[in-house]
Structure 1
Amino acid sequence: MSEARRHALAVSTALLTLLGTAAPAVAAGAPTLVQAPLAHHGGGLRNSTSGNWSGYAATGNKFTSVNASWVQPSVSCTGADTWSSFWVGLDGDGSSTVEQTGTEADCSGGSPVYSAWYEMYPAYPVNFSNAVRPGDHFTASVTTNGSGSFTLTLADTTAGWKRTVNKTLRGAALASAEVIAEAPSSSTGVLPLSDFHSVSFTGAGANGRSLGGFTPDAITMASGGVTRAATSGLSGGSSFSVTWKHS
Protein backbone atom coordinates (compact mmCIF):
# COMPACT_ATOMS: atom_id res chain seq x y z
CA MET A 1 0.00 0.00 0.00
CA SER A 2 1.38 3.43 -0.93
CA GLU A 3 1.73 6.20 1.62
CA ALA A 4 -0.58 8.32 -0.55
CA ARG A 5 -3.28 5.69 -0.23
CA ARG A 6 -2.79 5.44 3.54
CA HIS A 7 -3.23 9.17 4.03
CA ALA A 8 -6.23 9.34 1.67
CA LEU A 9 -8.23 6.99 3.90
CA ALA A 10 -8.82 9.48 6.73
CA VAL A 11 -12.37 10.88 6.98
CA SER A 12 -12.61 14.63 6.63
CA THR A 13 -13.80 16.03 9.96
CA ALA A 14 -14.95 19.21 8.27
CA LEU A 15 -17.05 17.24 5.78
CA LEU A 16 -18.63 15.13 8.52
CA THR A 17 -19.45 18.33 10.42
CA LEU A 18 -21.19 19.66 7.34
CA LEU A 19 -23.12 16.42 6.87
CA GLY A 20 -24.17 16.52 10.50
CA THR A 21 -26.21 19.67 9.90
CA ALA A 22 -28.63 18.05 7.50
CA ALA A 23 -28.35 14.28 7.12
CA PRO A 24 -31.39 12.27 8.28
CA ALA A 25 -31.07 10.09 11.37
CA VAL A 26 -31.54 6.34 10.97
CA ALA A 27 -32.80 5.57 14.48
CA ALA A 28 -35.24 7.66 16.46
CA GLY A 29 -33.36 10.10 18.65
CA ALA A 30 -30.03 9.23 17.00
CA PRO A 31 -27.48 11.76 15.81
CA THR A 32 -27.37 12.38 12.08
CA LEU A 33 -25.47 9.51 10.48
CA VAL A 34 -23.26 8.82 7.50
CA GLN A 35 -21.73 5.60 6.27
CA ALA A 36 -18.32 7.12 5.62
CA PRO A 37 -15.18 6.15 3.70
CA LEU A 38 -12.61 3.97 5.42
CA ALA A 39 -11.49 5.97 8.44
CA HIS A 40 -8.11 4.88 9.79
CA HIS A 41 -6.05 2.30 8.00
CA GLY A 42 -3.01 0.48 9.35
CA GLY A 43 -1.25 -2.83 9.05
CA GLY A 44 -0.33 -4.66 5.89
CA LEU A 45 -1.93 -4.48 2.47
CA ARG A 46 -3.93 -7.70 2.93
CA ASN A 47 -4.50 -7.58 6.70
CA SER A 48 -5.47 -4.12 7.87
CA THR A 49 -7.24 -2.28 10.67
CA SER A 50 -9.80 0.49 10.44
CA GLY A 51 -11.63 2.63 12.96
CA ASN A 52 -15.01 2.13 11.25
CA TRP A 53 -14.91 -0.78 8.73
CA SER A 54 -14.67 -4.55 9.07
CA GLY A 55 -14.89 -6.89 6.09
CA TYR A 56 -13.19 -7.12 2.71
CA ALA A 57 -12.14 -4.44 0.24
CA ALA A 58 -10.67 -5.16 -3.19
CA THR A 59 -8.45 -2.62 -4.95
CA GLY A 60 -6.04 -2.50 -7.87
CA ASN A 61 -8.66 -2.61 -10.65
CA LYS A 62 -11.42 -0.50 -12.11
CA PHE A 63 -14.57 -1.80 -10.44
CA THR A 64 -17.97 -1.49 -12.08
CA SER A 65 -19.98 -3.91 -9.94
CA VAL A 66 -20.11 -5.40 -6.46
CA ASN A 67 -22.62 -7.77 -4.88
CA ALA A 68 -23.21 -9.92 -1.80
CA SER A 69 -25.90 -11.46 0.38
CA TRP A 70 -26.29 -11.54 4.15
CA VAL A 71 -28.73 -12.40 6.92
CA GLN A 72 -29.82 -9.37 8.90
CA PRO A 73 -28.37 -9.77 12.41
CA SER A 74 -30.21 -8.93 15.61
CA VAL A 75 -28.74 -6.53 18.16
CA SER A 76 -28.51 -6.77 21.93
CA CYS A 77 -29.33 -3.41 23.49
CA THR A 78 -28.49 -1.99 26.89
CA GLY A 79 -29.11 1.60 27.94
CA ALA A 80 -26.55 2.98 25.50
CA ASP A 81 -27.37 4.17 21.98
CA THR A 82 -25.29 2.27 19.42
CA TRP A 83 -25.19 1.79 15.66
CA SER A 84 -24.11 -0.72 13.00
CA SER A 85 -24.58 -1.10 9.27
CA PHE A 86 -23.99 -3.84 6.68
CA TRP A 87 -23.49 -3.02 3.02
CA VAL A 88 -21.90 -3.46 -0.37
CA GLY A 89 -20.32 -0.58 -2.22
CA LEU A 90 -17.88 0.84 -4.71
CA ASP A 91 -15.15 3.33 -3.72
CA GLY A 92 -14.34 4.64 -0.25
CA ASP A 93 -11.02 2.81 0.18
CA GLY A 94 -8.65 5.58 -0.84
CA SER A 95 -11.32 7.78 -2.44
CA SER A 96 -13.72 10.39 -1.06
CA THR A 97 -16.93 8.94 -2.51
CA VAL A 98 -18.77 5.70 -1.67
CA GLU A 99 -21.71 4.37 -3.68
CA GLN A 100 -23.40 1.88 -1.35
CA THR A 101 -26.59 0.23 -0.13
CA GLY A 102 -27.37 -1.93 2.89
CA THR A 103 -29.12 -2.33 6.21
CA GLU A 104 -28.86 -0.91 9.70
CA ALA A 105 -29.08 -2.45 13.18
CA ASP A 106 -29.13 0.21 15.90
CA CYS A 107 -30.05 0.59 19.56
CA SER A 108 -32.06 3.67 20.48
CA GLY A 109 -33.30 4.23 24.01
CA GLY A 110 -32.59 0.60 24.84
CA SER A 111 -34.61 -0.79 21.93
CA PRO A 112 -33.50 -2.29 18.60
CA VAL A 113 -34.13 -0.27 15.44
CA TYR A 114 -33.69 -1.92 12.02
CA SER A 115 -33.74 -0.18 8.66
CA ALA A 116 -32.47 -0.17 5.08
CA TRP A 117 -30.87 2.60 3.05
CA TYR A 118 -28.69 3.69 0.17
CA GLU A 119 -26.03 6.37 0.13
CA MET A 120 -24.03 8.18 -2.54
CA TYR A 121 -21.50 9.64 -0.11
CA PRO A 122 -20.78 12.53 0.38
CA ALA A 123 -24.49 13.08 -0.33
CA TYR A 124 -26.73 12.26 2.61
CA PRO A 125 -28.03 8.72 3.20
CA VAL A 126 -31.61 7.96 2.17
CA ASN A 127 -33.69 5.46 4.15
CA PHE A 128 -36.10 3.06 2.51
CA SER A 129 -39.56 2.81 4.08
CA ASN A 130 -39.61 -1.01 3.95
CA ALA A 131 -39.53 -2.94 7.22
CA VAL A 132 -36.34 -4.80 8.15
CA ARG A 133 -36.39 -7.70 10.61
CA PRO A 134 -33.64 -9.83 12.15
CA GLY A 135 -33.21 -13.07 10.23
CA ASP A 136 -34.30 -11.59 6.90
CA HIS A 137 -32.14 -12.59 3.95
CA PHE A 138 -30.79 -9.68 1.89
CA THR A 139 -29.07 -9.45 -1.46
CA ALA A 140 -27.47 -6.22 -2.63
CA SER A 141 -25.57 -4.89 -5.60
CA VAL A 142 -24.08 -1.66 -6.90
CA THR A 143 -23.31 -1.40 -10.60
CA THR A 144 -22.16 1.38 -12.90
CA ASN A 145 -21.67 1.90 -16.61
CA GLY A 146 -18.33 3.49 -15.77
CA SER A 147 -19.49 6.90 -16.97
CA GLY A 148 -21.33 8.20 -13.94
CA SER A 149 -24.58 6.18 -13.97
CA PHE A 150 -25.15 3.91 -10.96
CA THR A 151 -27.81 1.34 -10.11
CA LEU A 152 -28.14 0.38 -6.45
CA THR A 153 -30.34 -2.61 -5.64
CA LEU A 154 -31.35 -4.02 -2.25
CA ALA A 155 -33.77 -6.94 -1.89
CA ASP A 156 -35.25 -8.58 1.18
CA THR A 157 -35.86 -12.07 -0.21
CA THR A 158 -37.56 -13.17 3.02
CA ALA A 159 -40.15 -10.39 3.07
CA GLY A 160 -40.38 -10.20 -0.72
CA TRP A 161 -39.51 -6.55 -1.33
CA LYS A 162 -36.88 -5.00 -3.59
CA ARG A 163 -35.69 -1.43 -4.06
CA THR A 164 -33.73 -0.23 -7.09
CA VAL A 165 -32.32 3.27 -7.28
CA ASN A 166 -30.69 4.90 -10.31
CA LYS A 167 -28.31 7.76 -9.53
CA THR A 168 -25.68 9.82 -11.32
CA LEU A 169 -22.29 10.69 -9.88
CA ARG A 170 -19.60 12.14 -12.10
CA GLY A 171 -15.97 11.60 -11.21
CA ALA A 172 -16.31 8.46 -9.07
CA ALA A 173 -12.91 6.77 -8.86
CA LEU A 174 -14.27 3.20 -9.19
CA ALA A 175 -11.04 2.13 -7.49
CA SER A 176 -12.40 -0.31 -4.90
CA ALA A 177 -15.21 -2.76 -4.18
CA GLU A 178 -16.26 -3.61 -0.62
CA VAL A 179 -18.49 -5.85 1.47
CA ILE A 180 -18.49 -4.27 4.91
CA ALA A 181 -19.87 -4.16 8.45
CA GLU A 182 -19.48 -0.58 9.66
CA ALA A 183 -19.71 1.60 12.73
CA PRO A 184 -21.48 4.67 11.23
CA SER A 185 -20.22 8.19 11.88
CA SER A 186 -21.74 11.51 12.90
CA SER A 187 -20.38 15.03 13.12
CA THR A 188 -18.45 13.96 16.24
CA GLY A 189 -16.75 11.00 14.54
CA VAL A 190 -17.21 7.23 14.58
CA LEU A 191 -20.12 6.13 16.81
CA PRO A 192 -20.36 3.26 19.33
CA LEU A 193 -20.87 -0.06 17.57
CA SER A 194 -24.03 -2.08 18.23
CA ASP A 195 -23.61 -5.62 19.54
CA PHE A 196 -24.81 -7.38 16.37
CA HIS A 197 -23.20 -10.67 17.46
CA SER A 198 -22.16 -11.88 14.01
CA VAL A 199 -23.13 -11.27 10.39
CA SER A 200 -22.43 -13.73 7.60
CA PHE A 201 -21.85 -12.53 4.04
CA THR A 202 -22.11 -14.94 1.10
CA GLY A 203 -21.79 -14.66 -2.66
CA ALA A 204 -19.44 -11.68 -2.40
CA GLY A 205 -18.28 -10.69 -5.85
CA ALA A 206 -17.07 -7.85 -8.05
CA ASN A 207 -16.90 -7.39 -11.82
CA GLY A 208 -18.64 -10.73 -12.29
CA ARG A 209 -16.00 -12.66 -10.32
CA SER A 210 -15.72 -13.80 -6.72
CA LEU A 211 -14.26 -11.13 -4.47
CA GLY A 212 -11.42 -13.48 -3.53
CA GLY A 213 -10.20 -13.37 -7.13
CA PHE A 214 -8.92 -9.86 -6.46
CA THR A 215 -6.94 -10.83 -3.33
CA PRO A 216 -8.92 -8.34 -1.21
CA ASP A 217 -7.79 -6.63 1.96
CA ALA A 218 -9.17 -8.27 5.14
CA ILE A 219 -10.08 -5.40 7.47
CA THR A 220 -10.47 -5.64 11.25
CA MET A 221 -12.30 -2.81 13.01
CA ALA A 222 -10.08 -1.58 15.85
CA SER A 223 -9.22 1.68 17.57
CA GLY A 224 -7.19 2.61 20.63
CA GLY A 225 -5.81 -0.89 20.84
CA VAL A 226 -9.34 -2.37 21.15
CA THR A 227 -10.76 -4.73 18.52
CA ARG A 228 -14.35 -3.72 17.81
CA ALA A 229 -15.20 -6.28 15.11
CA ALA A 230 -13.20 -9.19 13.69
CA THR A 231 -13.29 -10.48 10.12
CA SER A 232 -12.99 -14.19 9.38
CA GLY A 233 -11.04 -15.76 6.55
CA LEU A 234 -12.57 -15.75 3.08
CA SER A 235 -14.13 -19.13 2.33
CA GLY A 236 -14.43 -20.21 -1.29
CA GLY A 237 -13.47 -16.72 -2.35
CA SER A 238 -16.89 -15.30 -1.55
CA SER A 239 -18.06 -16.05 2.01
CA PHE A 240 -16.99 -14.68 5.38
CA SER A 241 -18.33 -13.45 8.70
CA VAL A 242 -17.78 -10.39 10.86
CA THR A 243 -18.09 -10.83 14.62
CA TRP A 244 -18.78 -8.03 17.12
CA LYS A 245 -16.18 -7.68 19.88
CA HIS A 246 -16.60 -4.28 21.53
CA SER A 247 -18.70 -1.15 21.18
Structure 2
Amino acid sequence: MKFATTVLLTSAIWTTSALAAPRAGFGVPPKAPGDKNGALAAEQSTSADIEYGYNWAGVIHTTPPATGTYTAASATFTVPEPTATDDSSGGKQGASAWVGIDGGTYRNAILQAGVDFYVEGGTKNYDAWYEWYPAYSNDFNLSISAGDIVIVKVVSSSPSQGVAILENESSGQSATQTLSADPSTATLGGQNVEWMVEDYQSGSSDVALVNFNKVKFTGVQAETSDGQKIGTDGATIYDIQQNGDVLTNVTIISDTEFDVSYEAAQ
Protein backbone atom coordinates (compact mmCIF):
# COMPACT_ATOMS: atom_id res chain seq x y z
CA MET A 1 0.00 0.00 0.00
CA LYS A 2 0.89 3.65 -0.30
CA PHE A 3 -0.44 4.64 3.06
CA ALA A 4 -0.35 4.17 6.80
CA THR A 5 -3.19 2.34 8.44
CA THR A 6 -4.70 2.57 11.88
CA VAL A 7 -6.97 -0.25 12.98
CA LEU A 8 -9.38 0.14 15.88
CA LEU A 9 -11.35 -2.95 16.65
CA THR A 10 -13.43 -4.00 19.62
CA SER A 11 -12.48 -5.34 23.03
CA ALA A 12 -11.13 -8.55 21.50
CA ILE A 13 -8.86 -6.75 19.06
CA TRP A 14 -6.84 -3.73 20.13
CA THR A 15 -6.09 -0.59 18.16
CA THR A 16 -3.01 -0.98 15.97
CA SER A 17 -1.37 0.96 13.21
CA ALA A 18 0.23 0.01 9.92
CA LEU A 19 2.50 2.04 7.70
CA ALA A 20 2.44 1.46 4.00
CA ALA A 21 4.56 1.66 0.86
CA PRO A 22 6.51 2.21 2.69
CA ARG A 23 3.93 0.50 4.88
CA ALA A 24 5.24 -0.88 8.15
CA GLY A 25 2.32 -2.94 9.37
CA PHE A 26 1.08 -2.68 12.93
CA GLY A 27 3.95 -0.53 14.14
CA VAL A 28 2.34 1.88 16.61
CA PRO A 29 1.81 0.68 20.20
CA PRO A 30 -1.79 -0.43 20.80
CA LYS A 31 -4.36 1.73 22.56
CA ALA A 32 -7.42 0.67 24.47
CA PRO A 33 -10.38 0.11 22.13
CA GLY A 34 -12.19 3.30 23.13
CA ASP A 35 -9.23 5.67 22.94
CA LYS A 36 -9.73 6.90 19.38
CA ASN A 37 -13.47 7.08 19.02
CA GLY A 38 -15.08 6.42 22.37
CA ALA A 39 -16.79 3.20 23.38
CA LEU A 40 -17.57 0.94 20.46
CA ALA A 41 -20.89 -0.80 20.16
CA ALA A 42 -21.41 -4.46 19.35
CA GLU A 43 -24.55 -6.30 18.33
CA GLN A 44 -25.50 -9.84 17.49
CA SER A 45 -26.74 -11.21 14.17
CA THR A 46 -28.34 -14.55 13.42
CA SER A 47 -25.57 -15.34 10.92
CA ALA A 48 -22.50 -13.74 12.49
CA ASP A 49 -21.31 -11.40 15.20
CA ILE A 50 -21.31 -7.76 14.11
CA GLU A 51 -18.82 -5.38 15.67
CA TYR A 52 -17.70 -1.85 14.90
CA GLY A 53 -14.18 -0.57 14.45
CA TYR A 54 -12.45 2.56 13.26
CA ASN A 55 -11.33 1.43 9.83
CA TRP A 56 -11.88 -2.25 9.01
CA ALA A 57 -15.01 -3.40 7.19
CA GLY A 58 -15.35 -7.02 6.24
CA VAL A 59 -15.14 -10.51 7.69
CA ILE A 60 -12.56 -11.98 10.06
CA HIS A 61 -12.01 -15.32 11.77
CA THR A 62 -10.35 -14.43 15.08
CA THR A 63 -9.52 -18.00 16.12
CA PRO A 64 -8.55 -21.08 14.08
CA PRO A 65 -10.24 -24.48 14.27
CA ALA A 66 -9.15 -26.64 17.19
CA THR A 67 -7.32 -29.05 14.89
CA GLY A 68 -5.23 -26.66 12.81
CA THR A 69 -4.02 -23.15 12.02
CA TYR A 70 -4.75 -20.92 9.04
CA THR A 71 -2.32 -21.28 6.15
CA ALA A 72 -4.08 -19.52 3.25
CA ALA A 73 -6.75 -16.96 2.42
CA SER A 74 -8.17 -16.03 -0.96
CA ALA A 75 -11.01 -14.15 -2.63
CA THR A 76 -12.08 -12.50 -5.86
CA PHE A 77 -13.39 -8.94 -6.12
CA THR A 78 -14.09 -6.27 -8.72
CA VAL A 79 -12.01 -3.12 -8.27
CA PRO A 80 -14.42 -0.26 -7.54
CA GLU A 81 -14.21 3.25 -8.97
CA PRO A 82 -13.62 5.66 -6.08
CA THR A 83 -15.64 8.87 -5.93
CA ALA A 84 -14.63 11.82 -3.78
CA THR A 85 -17.22 12.75 -1.17
CA ASP A 86 -18.66 16.25 -0.75
CA ASP A 87 -16.48 17.02 2.27
CA SER A 88 -13.19 16.15 0.57
CA SER A 89 -11.81 19.73 0.43
CA GLY A 90 -9.52 18.53 -2.35
CA GLY A 91 -7.58 16.17 -0.10
CA LYS A 92 -6.73 12.52 -0.52
CA GLN A 93 -9.49 9.97 0.00
CA GLY A 94 -9.05 6.25 -0.30
CA ALA A 95 -9.69 2.67 0.71
CA SER A 96 -8.11 -0.72 0.13
CA ALA A 97 -9.54 -4.20 -0.43
CA TRP A 98 -7.34 -7.06 0.72
CA VAL A 99 -7.03 -10.56 2.15
CA GLY A 100 -4.67 -11.54 4.93
CA ILE A 101 -3.41 -14.05 7.46
CA ASP A 102 -3.08 -12.81 11.06
CA GLY A 103 -3.03 -9.16 12.12
CA GLY A 104 -6.28 -9.18 14.08
CA THR A 105 -5.91 -10.78 17.50
CA TYR A 106 -2.44 -12.02 16.51
CA ARG A 107 -0.30 -8.95 15.82
CA ASN A 108 3.24 -10.33 15.66
CA ALA A 109 3.04 -10.45 11.86
CA ILE A 110 0.62 -10.23 8.99
CA LEU A 111 0.81 -11.58 5.44
CA GLN A 112 -1.55 -9.65 3.18
CA ALA A 113 -2.13 -8.48 -0.37
CA GLY A 114 -4.71 -6.35 -2.10
CA VAL A 115 -5.59 -3.29 -4.14
CA ASP A 116 -5.72 0.39 -3.16
CA PHE A 117 -8.21 2.73 -4.82
CA TYR A 118 -8.03 6.42 -4.02
CA VAL A 119 -8.65 9.94 -5.28
CA GLU A 120 -5.95 12.60 -4.99
CA GLY A 121 -5.96 15.99 -6.67
CA GLY A 122 -8.97 14.92 -8.70
CA THR A 123 -7.13 11.89 -10.12
CA LYS A 124 -8.29 8.34 -9.50
CA ASN A 125 -5.49 5.89 -8.71
CA TYR A 126 -5.16 2.13 -8.28
CA ASP A 127 -2.26 0.11 -6.84
CA ALA A 128 -1.82 -3.63 -6.28
CA TRP A 129 0.44 -4.48 -3.34
CA TYR A 130 1.75 -7.16 -0.96
CA GLU A 131 3.27 -7.10 2.53
CA TRP A 132 4.71 -9.19 5.34
CA TYR A 133 4.61 -6.96 8.40
CA PRO A 134 6.77 -5.53 9.89
CA ALA A 135 8.70 -5.25 6.62
CA TYR A 136 7.55 -2.55 4.24
CA SER A 137 5.00 -3.28 1.56
CA ASN A 138 5.72 -3.21 -2.15
CA ASP A 139 3.61 -2.79 -5.26
CA PHE A 140 3.04 -5.57 -7.74
CA ASN A 141 4.07 -4.64 -11.28
CA LEU A 142 0.50 -4.88 -12.52
CA SER A 143 -1.86 -2.41 -14.18
CA ILE A 144 -5.12 -2.02 -12.28
CA SER A 145 -8.25 -0.13 -13.34
CA ALA A 146 -11.79 0.26 -12.07
CA GLY A 147 -13.92 -2.70 -13.09
CA ASP A 148 -11.03 -5.15 -13.20
CA ILE A 149 -11.75 -8.54 -11.65
CA VAL A 150 -8.86 -9.59 -9.44
CA ILE A 151 -8.09 -12.77 -7.53
CA VAL A 152 -5.95 -12.34 -4.42
CA LYS A 153 -4.39 -15.17 -2.42
CA VAL A 154 -1.83 -15.35 0.37
CA VAL A 155 -0.28 -18.65 1.45
CA SER A 156 2.07 -19.43 4.32
CA SER A 157 4.23 -22.48 3.70
CA SER A 158 5.69 -22.11 7.20
CA PRO A 159 5.49 -19.50 9.97
CA SER A 160 8.37 -17.63 8.31
CA GLN A 161 7.75 -18.25 4.59
CA GLY A 162 4.87 -17.35 2.33
CA VAL A 163 3.60 -16.29 -1.07
CA ALA A 164 1.34 -13.46 -2.24
CA ILE A 165 -0.47 -13.91 -5.54
CA LEU A 166 -2.58 -11.40 -7.46
CA GLU A 167 -4.20 -12.17 -10.79
CA ASN A 168 -5.98 -9.55 -12.88
CA GLU A 169 -8.49 -11.68 -14.76
CA SER A 170 -9.59 -8.72 -16.87
CA SER A 171 -6.13 -8.01 -18.29
CA GLY A 172 -4.70 -11.51 -18.10
CA GLN A 173 -1.78 -10.29 -15.99
CA SER A 174 -0.68 -12.02 -12.81
CA ALA A 175 2.14 -11.73 -10.31
CA THR A 176 3.53 -13.93 -7.56
CA GLN A 177 5.86 -12.79 -4.81
CA THR A 178 7.68 -14.99 -2.30
CA LEU A 179 8.07 -13.38 1.11
CA SER A 180 9.77 -14.24 4.37
CA ALA A 181 9.62 -12.99 7.94
CA ASP A 182 11.74 -9.87 8.39
CA PRO A 183 13.00 -9.80 11.05
CA SER A 184 13.10 -13.55 11.57
CA THR A 185 11.06 -13.20 14.77
CA ALA A 186 8.07 -11.79 12.84
CA THR A 187 6.52 -15.20 12.32
CA LEU A 188 2.91 -15.95 11.53
CA GLY A 189 0.72 -17.73 14.03
CA GLY A 190 -2.09 -18.77 11.71
CA GLN A 191 -4.61 -17.49 14.25
CA ASN A 192 -6.62 -15.13 12.02
CA VAL A 193 -7.78 -14.77 8.44
CA GLU A 194 -9.58 -11.73 7.09
CA TRP A 195 -11.13 -10.23 3.98
CA MET A 196 -11.37 -6.48 4.35
CA VAL A 197 -12.05 -3.06 2.93
CA GLU A 198 -9.88 -0.70 4.93
CA ASP A 199 -9.73 3.01 5.63
CA TYR A 200 -6.23 4.22 6.51
CA GLN A 201 -3.92 7.05 7.49
CA SER A 202 -1.38 8.89 5.34
CA GLY A 203 1.57 9.88 7.48
CA SER A 204 0.07 10.94 10.79
CA SER A 205 -3.21 12.21 9.34
CA ASP A 206 -6.43 10.33 8.71
CA VAL A 207 -7.41 9.90 5.08
CA ALA A 208 -11.12 10.38 4.48
CA LEU A 209 -12.86 7.18 3.48
CA VAL A 210 -13.58 7.43 -0.23
CA ASN A 211 -16.98 6.53 -1.62
CA PHE A 212 -16.24 3.11 -3.11
CA ASN A 213 -19.91 2.23 -3.64
CA LYS A 214 -19.56 -1.53 -3.13
CA VAL A 215 -16.89 -4.21 -3.05
CA LYS A 216 -18.24 -7.72 -3.62
CA PHE A 217 -16.02 -10.52 -2.35
CA THR A 218 -16.63 -13.91 -3.98
CA GLY A 219 -14.78 -17.19 -3.74
CA VAL A 220 -14.02 -16.39 -0.11
CA GLN A 221 -11.95 -19.24 1.32
CA ALA A 222 -9.43 -19.94 4.04
CA GLU A 223 -7.37 -23.11 4.28
CA THR A 224 -5.95 -24.72 7.38
CA SER A 225 -2.91 -26.82 8.18
CA ASP A 226 -5.07 -29.94 8.45
CA GLY A 227 -6.75 -29.45 5.08
CA GLN A 228 -10.00 -27.77 6.08
CA LYS A 229 -11.56 -25.17 3.79
CA ILE A 230 -13.46 -22.42 5.58
CA GLY A 231 -15.65 -19.56 4.37
CA THR A 232 -17.59 -16.85 6.14
CA ASP A 233 -19.63 -19.15 8.40
CA GLY A 234 -18.84 -18.46 12.04
CA ALA A 235 -16.79 -15.36 11.26
CA THR A 236 -17.16 -11.91 12.79
CA ILE A 237 -18.38 -8.98 10.70
CA TYR A 238 -16.72 -5.60 11.11
CA ASP A 239 -18.26 -2.32 10.00
CA ILE A 240 -16.50 1.04 10.08
CA GLN A 241 -17.80 3.55 12.61
CA GLN A 242 -16.26 7.02 12.84
CA ASN A 243 -17.52 9.93 14.95
CA GLY A 244 -20.77 8.12 15.60
CA ASP A 245 -21.48 7.44 11.91
CA VAL A 246 -21.51 3.90 10.53
CA LEU A 247 -19.83 4.28 7.13
CA THR A 248 -20.10 0.72 5.79
CA ASN A 249 -22.62 -2.07 5.60
CA VAL A 250 -21.34 -5.64 5.37
CA THR A 251 -23.84 -8.17 4.04
CA ILE A 252 -23.15 -11.90 4.12
CA ILE A 253 -24.66 -13.54 1.05
CA SER A 254 -23.33 -17.09 1.44
CA ASP A 255 -20.43 -19.00 2.92
CA THR A 256 -18.25 -17.82 0.02
CA GLU A 257 -19.64 -14.37 -0.78
CA PHE A 258 -20.26 -11.04 0.95
CA ASP A 259 -20.60 -7.35 0.09
CA VAL A 260 -19.06 -4.28 1.69
CA SER A 261 -21.13 -1.20 0.81
CA TYR A 262 -20.23 2.43 1.43
CA GLU A 263 -22.69 4.39 3.57
CA ALA A 264 -22.58 8.20 3.56
CA ALA A 265 -22.25 9.91 6.94
CA GLN A 266 -25.51 11.32 8.27
Q: TM range, normalised to the smaller chain? A: 0.7 to 0.9
Amino acid at match of 2:231: L
- CA deviation vs aligned residue, 1:65-87 (integer Å, no higher than 9, x gap): 11100001001136331011001
For normalisation by structure 2, the TM-score amounts to 0.77
2:222 alignment counterpart: 206
**Quick check: 2:57–2:248 contact (8 Å CA) kept in 1?**
yes
CA distance in 2, matches of 1:8, 1:229: 19
Structure 1 position 239 matched with structure 2 position 238: no
- CA deviation vs aligned residue, 1:96-129 (integer Å, no higher than 9, x gap): 2221101111001011111111111222221123
Name the SS for the 2:190 alignment partner. coil
* Unmatched 5+ stretches in structure 1: 25-31
1:43 alignment counterpart: 42
For normalisation by structure 1, the TM-score amounts to 0.82
CA distance in 1, matches of 2:245, 2:138: 31
CA distance in 1, matches of 2:255, 2:261: 19
1:70-219 matches, within 5 Å, as 70-77=77-84, 79-96=90-107, 97-169=109-181, 170-188=186-204, 190-207=206-223, 209-213=229-233, 215-219=234-238
**Quick check: 1:148–1:172 contact (8 Å CA) kept in 2?**
yes
Percent identity of paired positions between Structure 1 and Structure 2: 23
**Quick check: 1:36–1:185 contact (8 Å CA) kept in 2?**
no
- Please state which structure has a larger fraction of its residues in helix: 1
Name the SS for the 1:6 alignment partner. coil
1:28 alignment counterpart: none
Query: Across the two proteins, how many residue pairs are aligned to each other?
Result: 226
**Quick check: 1:91–1:173 contact (8 Å CA) kept in 2?**
yes
- Please state which structure has a larger fraction of its residues in strand: 2
CA distance in 2, matches of 1:191, 1:173: 30
